[in-house]
Structure formats: C-alpha cells, structure tokens
Amino acid sequence: MQRLRALATFRGDTRSLTSAEGGTVIGGIEYPDRATVVLAFTLPPNQVLLGFERLLASRGWTRPPQPTEDRGGFVASASSYAPFWGDVYCADSGSAQVSFVPAAGGGTYLKVQHIREKARGGCGPSRVMSAYIETLKFPTLVPPVGMSQRSSGGCGGGGSNEISAHFVGPLEPSDALAHYAKQLQAAGWRIGAPLANATVTLASAEAKDSESKAWTGTLMVTRVSPSELEVTIRMARPSDR
C-alpha cells in the first residue's frame, strides 16, 4: 500500500509542481504513473489559483491544446477530464490537474495531481463537434482561471440561439461576466455596460452572423450557490418576414 509522503520524497518532476510560495504540503501519494499532492494556503482561492497558474507558466506549463475543430461556444479545455478534475496544464513531463477546496479562516487547500503520461491527462489532441446552430457562430470561450466547467449546452432555431455553461469556483458574477465580455469583444461583438443585483449580472450583446445579419441579446451570469455560477448567452435576429 502506498503511504502519504513528505515533499522531499517525491520525484523531481512532481516536486516542480508543489514548491509554491506560501504553500505547505500537508500530504500526498505517489504511484509509478502519477502522484497527488495537497497543499495548504492561508490566502483565499482566487489569489491562490491565479498565483499558481503564473508559477506553472514560469516553469513551462501551458493550457491544453484547443480542439482541432473550432466548435465555438464554451470550452472547458481539449480534455474531457477538465470538468471533473479542475484546471489542466501540460508539459513534457505529463499533465497537471489542479483543483481546490476552501479552507477554514479564508484559506485554501490545493490538490495537484501529476499524470506522467500526457495522453491520459488530457494533453493530447481532441476533436469536437460544432456547438452552434443557425448562421450565428459563437466564438470559442475559455473559462477563467480557477473556474471548472461542469456542464454546457445550447439550442437554436427559428431566429434564436442560446448557449450556457455551469461553473464551480471562487469568482463573483461580475468578474465572470467581464472575463467572457472581453473574449466576445475580441471576436468583434459589442457588449454593453453591465447591470447587477445580488444574484445576477448581465449585459446587452450585439453581433453579426456569416450573412452579416444583426443579432441582439444578453450575456448573463447567475449566482446559483456560493461556489457555482451559470453563464448564459442568448441571442435573436429579426424575422425574415
């Protein structure tokens, strides 16, 4: 039976994932093909996740490659593991799957799983089907750092088109809306000033489809629970009549 290990006993390729400033290793387990380490931080999840992503980037870790077909809409990552295991990062030594749990007193427990075979950890190429209907194409929308996409879907027809996705993580609705508004604007969409109450943040959206027809609608983020958000983009075009 494998036992919990101290940091110094992990192989070098895993130790590079767990030496984070402000983090204390509280346990872990290692097998020949993978290792899991849990670190404790006194900072809140959003600060820990942002700092950890910057740390991994400085050590050569990157996000998984995007799907080989541009499906548009909400994309967790090229990996089907991502919605269940958290954020995924890739390097020559394999893949890293990073997730978190809030700790008492405003701190964070960070779980880092290192899978030494890249193809198993979601870092290989992936093909996906188109996720848009009608002539309006949604741009590819990647999640914010620290937010894990658990499900997504969409529907369309009759002059309307809608996509939505469910997320778990520490961000506020206003932060999530700003994140997706920036991606939509980069794709040529016009996003209005946000409006908000205690549970919902929304903004108007305008775009043109492949036939240069104008579509209007909303980008909306709803607080479902203290750690869950639903992001919805609903668009419609004028009738052809």
Burial tier of 8 (Cβ tally within 10 Å: 0-12, 13-18, 19+): exposed
Query: How is 172-195 classified by DSSP, letter by letter?
Result: -HHHHHHHHHHHHHHTT-EE---E
pLDDT in tens, 191-227: 999 999 989 999 999 999 888 889 999 999 999 988 8
pLDDT for res 67: 57
Q: Would the pTM count as exceeding 0.75?
A: no
pLDDT for res 125: 60
Say what the alpha-carbon torsion angle 182, 186, 192, 198 is, to the nearest 10 degrees: -20
* CA–CA separation, 94 and 96 (whole Å): 7
pLDDT for res 3: 45
In the chain, which residues fall in CATH 3.30.310?
Answer: 7-69+79-121, 140-236
CATH number of 7-69+79-121: 3.30.310
Fold classified for 140-236: TATA-Binding Protein (3.30.310)
pLDDT for res 232: 95
pLDDT for res 126: 54
Residues contacting 237, CB < 8 A, separation 6+: 134, 136, 159, 160, 209, 213, 214, 215, 216
pLDDT for res 81: 39
pLDDT for res 128: 45
Could you say which residues of the chain have pLDDT below 50?
Answer: 1-8, 78-84, 127-133
